[in-house]
Each structure stands twice: as C-alpha cells, then as structure tokens.
Amino acid sequence: MTLNPAKAFAAHSATTPLTFTPIQRREPGPTDVEIDIQFCGVCHSDIHTARSEWGPAKYPCVPGHEIVGHVTRVGAEVSQFKVGQHVGVGCLVDSCRTCINCQAGLEQYCTGGSTGTYNSADKHTGGHTLGGYSSSIVVDQGFVLRIPEGMDLAAAAPLLCAGITTYSPLRHWKVGPGMKVGIVGLGGLGHMGVKLAHAMGAHVVLFTTSPKKVEDGLKLGANEVVVSTDAAAMKPHSGTFDFILDCVSAQHDINSYLKLLKLNGTLTLVGAPEQPLPVAAFSIISQRRSFAGSGIGGIRETQEMLDFCAEHKILPEIEMIRMDQVNEAWERVVKQDVHYRFVIDMATLSA
C-alpha cells in the first residue's frame, strides 16, 4: 500500500502531553476522498481516549473527530464530492454497511462495530485510525459530509460531534412545538441542545448548577433557566416535562431530574459519567417514565443536522486556538473553562 506523509499532534502515552508527530495516510482508493484539514474541534472524548480513561488507547493516539476541510483528491469511483469542496468528517469513518442497523442509516449502532475516526482498528493499513489533529485525512466517500454553502467552517466543526449528539435524540423523541423540554448542563453539548430544541419549537428549560450561566442560557435560546441546586426553584417543575436531555458527564443525582418528567416522559442521557448513576425504582415506576441513552447519529442524520443548522443559522459558540495551545486547552476543558467549544486552526500545525 502506498502511504503519504502527513503532520499531526499525538499522545504517546496516557500521561504525556500531545506533541508534533509525523504520520502516514493511505493513498486514496477508488471510493476515497482526501481532505486537507482546516479546522478540528476539541471534544472531551479526545481527552478521555488519549488518557486511556475509557480503556487502553492505541498509541500514538491522534485524536479529533470534528473535522472540516476541503477536498484535495478523489478516487475514480467517487461521485458525491469534487476537488475544492468543503466537507466534514465526524466520529465515524466506516462500518460493516450490511447489518440491519447500517442498512437503516444507523451506522453508529453497527452490530459488527463501526470504525471510529481515531483509536479504532484500521482495515486499510492494519494499524489503528488516526484522527483530525492532523494536516490531512483519507476517508471513504460514504462517511464524508457536505458542509452547507456559506456556513462558517470553523464553527461548523463541533457540529460533527456536539451537534449531532444532541440533535439525534431530540429528533428521535420528536421534540417540537407544544413540548416542554429540559436541557441539563450548559457545556459543549448542552449549549447545542438549547439552541436545537429552541429551533425545533419547544419550550426550553435549562438546568445548571452555576448561577453565572443563567444569562448565557437565556441568550442561547432557553425560555427559562433553573439553578438546579435551588430546591425551591426546582419544585414547580415536578412532573411537567415531556422530554429531558441530560448532557452532564460528571456524577449527579439523576433522580432529581427523572422526577421532573410527566406521565410517559423520557430522560435521555448523552453525557458519559465515569461511574454508574444510581436510579431509584420509584423515580421511573410512578409515572411510567423512561430513562434512555443515545449516541451520535448516522451519516444520513448528520447531514440532515448540518442542513437544519444552516437553515436555522445555528452554530456552536467557539474559541479558536493554535495547535500548540492544545495541551492548555485540554486542561481548560477538564476544568470546564470553555465557552463552549475549542476549535483548532490547523493552519498553525507545525513542528
């Protein structure tokens, strides 16, 4: 197999900072798209993975699954994309494509195991996949996304993870006008949840532990903001929600939010706390409530989300950084000191 040199920032162990690392990308095959990466979002998943907090990582680990750039080459059989076009790559670069879930456009739930953009077995090279903290990437056209014309490219990057992670459950549970929807946590995921639920026509209530985020929540589209540590403020909302999207990855009392659901209401968790969340039986039994989970979306739904965001002029709130600032940015993510998503300007990638 022909390999081409590329530049990247990689972690070489769970405890060392990311450093400049030359890598190799495969020569585009017949159905492949080669992309020059212009921007890459920073997701907390990058940190968890590179630090082996979700199981042993494969090193060198090149994170990054919120990728936006332009096409530089296409394979002979590529019909969907052309050189110069602005495109994106999210959390997936492959799946079995034949199982019942893949056939339904739900590649993220591939029964054979989908291929992540980084830290997954790479069936092309025999090694492991390397992500978007790099100068270029080669991806099969079936997992490349079209960035809508006129959309800000840097701000589009976090839509490829934070955007679809919140859009998918809101769509699946049919959030829309006449519904009262709660968003728990105002971070990288939560701020997108607020914007999307508002655009879908729901009455949106944001729950935050930080009084400092009340003003931000209202500006982002919440109809109400409740400081969840205030029992008096929480009480009037008991049993009134159709749907709650929980975007918190830290330990928290899930029962206090389950009790806010009305009969047949659903709370869906998209945050990923490291430890199990205890659920009291009567928090769900008493009103036939449901406690659910959701991952990212499939490729078709991710394109739908991008088009929805373009139509409604929805973009994440971002802070641009240079590649050499990524280690500092990671520490700020861990401390929740970001409003609300870092994006790396990949033009700054150098040794």
Which whole number is the average pLDDT over 75-94? 97
Q: Is 310 contained in some domain?
A: no
**Are 192 and 132 in a shared domain?**
no
Is the pLDDT at 274 greater than 90? The verdict is no
**What pLDDT shows up at residue 174?**
98
- pLDDT mean over 66-79: 98
- Whether residue 181 is found in the same domain as residue 270: yes
pLDDT beyond 80 at 248: yes
143-166 pLDDT, tens digit per residue, is 999 999 999 999 999 999 999 999
Considering the domain architecture, whether residues 24 and 8 belong to the same structural domain is answered as yes
pLDDT average, residue stretch 253-267 = 98
- Span 272-292, average pLDDT: 94
* For residue 16, pLDDT beyond 80: yes
- Give the CATH number, domain containing residue 181: 3.40.50.720
Cβ contacts of 323 within 8 Å, gap of 6 or more? 9, 133, 344, 345, 346, 348, 349, 350
Tokens standing for 261?
A: 């659901």
Residue 305 resides in a domain:
no
Q: What is the pLDDT of residue 1?
A: 74
Q: Are residues 131 and 181 in the same domain?
A: no
Question: Is 207 in the same domain as 325?
Answer: no
Cβ distance 134 to 264 under 8 Å?
A: no
Does the residue 302 lie in any domain? no
Domain ranges, residue 18 = 3-160+317-348
Prior bond to 60 cis, omega within 30?
yes
Tell me, what's the pLDDT at 2?
A: 83
Q: Domains in the chain: how many in total?
A: 2
**148 and 188, same domain (yes or no):** no
- Are 63 and 52 part of one and the same domain? yes
Around Cβ 50, how many Cβ atoms within 10 Å? 28
Give the CATH number of the domain where residue 114 resides: 3.90.180.10
pLDDT in the model for residue 257: 98
- Please, what is the average pLDDT of the chain? 97
Mean pLDDT of 64-73: 98
Nearest to 234 by CA among 195, 208, 270, 262: 208
Q: What is the pLDDT of residues 83-92, one digit of tens each?
A: 999 999 999 9
How far is it, in rounded angstroms, from Cα 181 to Cα 175? 8
